[in-house]
Amino acid sequence: MKKEGEALEDQVLEEIRRKIVKSYLETIFLAELRKNEPLSAYELIDVVHSKFGFKFSSGTVYTLLYSMERKHLLMGEAAENKRVYRLTQKGKETIDTILDSREELWEFTKTIF
């Protein structure tokens, strides 16, 4: 049985991890679509769940995907009774820039702690 302090620590860390994943969902979606397109919203939800252990609501995901479409990062299209998403040229360039800047972004992130 865990002590009270250990349980609180686990809870705090879990909450921080969830917030980090949620704040990076757009980048996660871009990276996943770069590897495996097209993907549906539910497939993206499953990828996040299997990779990070968090399940986000379809409302959260669809809102983000719609926002990404408005920013011209991806485009949605109907396929086999569902909507699937593909990267646009801007989306490909965006994720490539992010991936090329990983070290710089990691160094920036470390300044938080």
Quick one: pLDDT at residue 96? Answer: 97
Each of the 113 residues of the chain gets a pLDDT tens digit; together they read 667 678 888 899 999 999 999 999 999 999 999 999 899 999 999 999 999 999 999 999 999 999 999 999 999 999 989 999 999 999 999 999 999 999 999 999 899 88
For domain 4-110, the question of CATH label 1.10.10.10 is answered with yes
**pLDDT given at position 1:** 61
pTM to 2 decimal places: 0.88
Q: What is the pLDDT of residue 2?
A: 63
Q: Where are the domains of the chain?
A: 4-110
d(C-alpha 78, C-alpha 13), whole Å:
39
In angstroms, the CA 68 to CA 72 distance is 6
Quick one: how many helices (H) and strands (E) in the chain? 6, 3
Looking at this protein, which amino acid is placed at residue 13? L
Question: In what side-by-side order are the strands of the sheet with 82-87?
Answer: 39-40, 82-87, 74-79
